[in-house]
């Protein structure tokens, strides 16, 4: 096993991490799906590879079109049932499913095949959107979004896994950036589509059309992958990857699969996170609020499940959610910490940002939708720029540090320029800066983690990093009220309950009461539950202006908390190993994309 090249000018180069990676990874045996992927490189021809690239491009396009349109519908969908404040609750549940679903999808892709895994996520995608489009209550919307989230997270993850399968380290960042290129196009195309849908057919059709578009767009990629996998097996390039065909009864095969996926461990993770975070966003609408015993019970049980999960993974699980070797891998641990805190910071300020500008800015619906895509466009452009830089620098650490510094700057400026009393240019620039920093950070972080493990672990390490990152996003949607914590240290419960979703649900009614004392409690409840009720009053009307001041107060709390949490990933990033990015699939073994012995990497690769 080759030793990765170090950055000779840096004491924190990868040598310190190599021992733990090597010693903990020597027993890694590639799953059937991984062996099949390596085998398909030997059967792909010129035209079939073009089919693969076109399929990837189509899947990337529909993924970005989804992300740039459906986000805008949720505020209107929940408002149509009078439950706008439940946005954070729904997004917390969505984030948990997106997080927990990643290791499951990754293991399905490893133990079966990439093509099979794509087909599974397609089914969840379509069913989820059908349920949302036909929803007759906010509960049905939440249920549909949970199913859709499995498909959405699977598409995101599998695309990144395939990119890691077909690219060497020095090109991976650039290809990952280019696969996000449709976000630039759809920031404008998607904004126009979303505006026309909301002004015309309505949010139901906005969701429902993807039940048709997703299968059409994913079909070429799924067919190409399944064809290549079947051909590799037929000509004998791969023969079960050394894995025997299952001959046991169905129940035993099912239990074996559940063991390999560590379904029980994933249930423990998802349940504990859900029980801790959901009460924080539901406390305002639940009967009795924090005096409701079920709110406290959920948090207590959620906290108790955390050490129980750790014991399960360490002592019992044969195939734990987070393999033990990853805990000893400095690159993976730091990537998880950076990703989690970066997402935590992002979602604290972003969850209600679109609703905020709808209320406080006299922009057209199209301009509001353009604004919601500002950070996405900047993130995409500078993610590609980071990929180009990594191709020639052969390093990712310096770019990660610079990106997180810019991200912190943009987040800090948002405290002053959050929107209500700032110029349009100010609030737009805060999003551009965060996008620039986020683009550098997202691309470099993923490559750094993938570089530190052998190919057999690439899929699951990608899933683990995204799992922890998405949990950070869920916490950011629900937990993050640092400013309020500083002012209310009277009890631990109050401290943990002051959160992003909880700040909104607990503080917005209070701020509305302060700024709209002349309005009845019932009318304030209506204003709290629906942004369309607020915007029905014109600018200059006392009710609209009072609501704007309330929104401004709450957004200030969120942006201060977001900035405080953005400091953590910037500091931690200085300790990540500075891997050399060369012509290999990863930086810890001497293998090319087909799994064969490769040339030793050099500084000039």
Q: Where are the domains of the chain?
A: 30-238, 263-317
The per-residue pLDDT for 603 is: 41
The per-residue pLDDT for 401 is: 95
Alpha helices in 235-329 (DSSP H): 250-261, 263-282, 293-311, 324-327
For the entire predicted model, the pTM comes to 0.73
Integer Cα distance of 109 and 107 in angstroms? 5
User: Is 532's pLDDT higher than 60?
Assistant: yes
Name the more confident of 7 and 81: 81
Q: Is 508 helix (H, G, I), strand (E, B) or coil?
A: helix
Q: What is the pLDDT of residues 549-562, one digit of tens each?
A: 888 888 888 888 88
Closest C-alpha to 74, from 329, 283, 354, 320: 354
User: Is 567's pLDDT higher than 60?
Assistant: yes
Q: What is the pLDDT of residues 246-272, one digit of tens each?
A: 456 767 767 777 777 777 887 887 788
pLDDT-derived band of residue 425, with 50, 70 and 90 as boundaries? confident
Name the more confident of 548 and 71: 548
Positive or negative torsion for Cα 363, 366, 370, 372 = positive
Name the more confident of 507 and 217: 217
User: Is 335's pLDDT higher than 50?
Assistant: yes
The per-residue pLDDT for 596 is: 61
For the chain, give the mean pLDDT.
78
Check: CB of residue 346 under 8 Å from CB of residue 476: yes
Residue 591 DSSP class:
B
User: Is 69's pLDDT higher than 80?
Assistant: yes
Tokens of 455: 């190919």
∠ CA 554-556-561, nearest 5°, is 100
Name the more confident of 61 and 245: 61
Name the more confident of 239 and 12: 239
User: Is 491's pLDDT higher than 60?
Assistant: no
The per-residue pLDDT for 386 is: 92
The per-residue pLDDT for 85 is: 66
User: Is 593's pLDDT higher than 70?
Assistant: no
SS3 letters across 339-364: HHHHHHHHHHHHCCHHHHHHHHCCCC
The per-residue pLDDT for 419 is: 59
Distances (CA, A) of 374 to 152, 180, 322, 435, 528: 21, 14, 34, 8, 26
Residue found under tokens 């009890």: 491
> What percent of the chain lies above the pLDDT cut of 90?
12
Integer Cα distance of 506 and 387 in angstroms? 42
User: Is 17's pLDDT higher than 90?
Assistant: no
Q: What is the pLDDT of residues 192-204, one digit of tens each?
A: 888 888 888 888 8
**Cβ-based neighbours of 202, under 8 Å, separated by 6 or more:** none
Integer Cα distance of 171 and 168 in angstroms? 6
User: Is 488's pLDDT higher than 60?
Assistant: no
The per-residue pLDDT for 485 is: 32
Integer Cα distance of 406 and 74 in angstroms? 30
Integer Cα distance of 208 and 132 in angstroms? 8
The per-residue pLDDT for 571 is: 95
The per-residue pLDDT for 400 is: 95
Average pLDDT score over residue span 517-531: 85
Average pLDDT score over residue span 169-185: 85
Could you give phi then psi for residue 591, rounded to 5 degrees? Answer: -135, 145
pLDDT-derived band of residue 437, with 50, 70 and 90 as boundaries? very high
Closest C-alpha to 154, from 176, 132, 128, 125: 125
Q: What is the dihedral angle through the alpha carbons of 149, 153, 155, 159, rounded to the nearest 10 degrees?
A: 170
Average pLDDT score over residue span 581-603: 64
> What percent of the chain lies above the pLDDT cut of 70?
80
pLDDT-derived band of residue 408, with 50, 70 and 90 as boundaries? very high
- Within the chain, what is the greatest distance between any pair of CA atoms? 79
The per-residue pLDDT for 153 is: 83
Could you give phi then psi for residue 12, rounded to 5 degrees? Answer: -100, 25
The CATH class of the 30-238 domain is: mainly alpha
User: Is 583's pLDDT higher than 50?
Assistant: yes
Tokens of 396: 């990712």
Average pLDDT score over residue span 399-406: 95
Average pLDDT score over residue span 439-463: 85
Instruction: Pick the most confident of 44-58, 63-77, 362-376, 398-412.
Output: 398-412
The per-residue pLDDT for 8 is: 38
Q: What is the pLDDT of residues 100-155, one digit of tens each?
A: 778 778 878 877 778 888 898 899 989 999 998 888 888 888 888 888 888 888 88
pLDDT-derived band of residue 436, with 50, 70 and 90 as boundaries? very high
Minimum mean pLDDT range among 131-145, 335-349, 461-475 = 461-475
User: Is 345's pLDDT higher than 70?
Assistant: yes
């Amino acid at each position: 096993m080759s030793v990765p090249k170090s950055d000779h000018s840096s004491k924190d180069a990868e040598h310190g991490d190599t021992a733990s990676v090597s010693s903990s990874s020597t027993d890694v045996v590639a799953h059937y799906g991984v062996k099949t992927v390596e085998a398909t490189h030997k059967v792909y021809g010129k035209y079939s590879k073009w089919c693969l690239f076109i399929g990837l491009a189509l899947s990337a396009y529909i993924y970005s079109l989804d992300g740039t349109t459906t986000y805008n519908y949720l505020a209107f969908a929940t408002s149509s049932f009078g439950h706008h404040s439940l946005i954070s609750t729904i997004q917390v549940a969505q984030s948990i499913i997106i997080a927990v679903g990643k290791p499951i999808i990754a293991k399905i892709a490893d133990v079966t095949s990439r093509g099979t895994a794509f087909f599974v996520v397609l089914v969840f995608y379509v069913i989820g959107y059908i349920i949302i489009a036909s929803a007759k209550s906010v509960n049905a919307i939440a249920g549909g979004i949970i199913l859709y989230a499995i498909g959405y997270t699977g598409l995101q993850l599998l695309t990144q896994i395939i990119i890691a399968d077909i690219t060497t380290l020095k090109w991976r960042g650039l290809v990952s950036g280019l696969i996000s290129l449709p976000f630039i196009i759809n920031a404008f195309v998607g904004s126009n589509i979303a505006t026309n849908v909301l002004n015309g057919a309505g949010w139901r059709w906005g969701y429902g059309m993807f039940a048709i578009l997703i299968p059409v767009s994913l079909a070429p990629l799924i067919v190409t992958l399944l064809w290549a996998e079947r051909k590799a097996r037929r000509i004998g390039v791969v023969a079960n990857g050394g894995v025997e065909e299952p001959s046991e009864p169905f129940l035993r095969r099912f239990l074996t699969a559940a063991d390999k996926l560590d379904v029980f461990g994933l249930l423990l993770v998802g349940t504990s996170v859900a029980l801790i975070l959901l009460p924080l966003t539901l406390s305002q609408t639940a009967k009795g609020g924090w005096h409701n015993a079920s709110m406290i019970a959920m948090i207590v049980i959620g906290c108790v499940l955390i050490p129980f999960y750790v014991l399960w993974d360490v002592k019992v699980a044969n195939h734990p959610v987070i393999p033990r070797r990853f805990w000893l891998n400095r690159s993976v641990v730091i990537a998880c910490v950076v990703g989690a805190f970066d997402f935590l910071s992002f979602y604290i300020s972003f969850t209600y940002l679109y609703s905020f500008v709808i209320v406080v800015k006299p922009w057209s619906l199209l301009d509001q939708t353009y604004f919601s895509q500002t950070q996405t466009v900047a993130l995409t452009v500078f993610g590609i720029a980071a990929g180009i830089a990594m191709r020639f620098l052969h390093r990712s650490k310096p770019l990660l540090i610079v990106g997180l510094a810019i991200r912190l700057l943009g987040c800090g400026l948002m405290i002053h320029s959050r929107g209500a009393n700032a110029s349009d240019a100010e609030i737009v620039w805060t999003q551009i800066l965060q996008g620039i920093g986020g683009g550098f950070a997202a691309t470099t972080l993923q490559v750094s983690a993938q570089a530190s493990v052998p190919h057999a672990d690439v899929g699951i390490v990608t899933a683990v990093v995204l799992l922890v990152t998405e949990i950070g996003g869920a916490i950011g949607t629900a937990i993050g009220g640092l400013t309020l914590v500083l002012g209310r240290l009277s009890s631990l419960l109050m401290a943990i309950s002051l959160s992003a979703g909880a700040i909104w649900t607990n503080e917005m009614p209070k701020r509305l009461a302060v700024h709209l004392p002349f309005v009845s409690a019932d009318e304030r409840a209506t204003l709290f539950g629906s942004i369309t009720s607020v915007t029905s009053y014109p600018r200059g009307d006392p009710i609209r202006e009072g609501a704007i001041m309330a929104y401004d107060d709450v957004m200030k709390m969120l942006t201060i908390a977001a900035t405080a949490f953005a400091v953590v990933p910037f500091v931690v990033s200085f300790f990540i190993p500075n891997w050399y990015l060369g012509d290999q699939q990863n930086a810890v073994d001497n293998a090319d994309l087909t799994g064969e012995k490769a040339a030793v990497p050099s500084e000039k690769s």
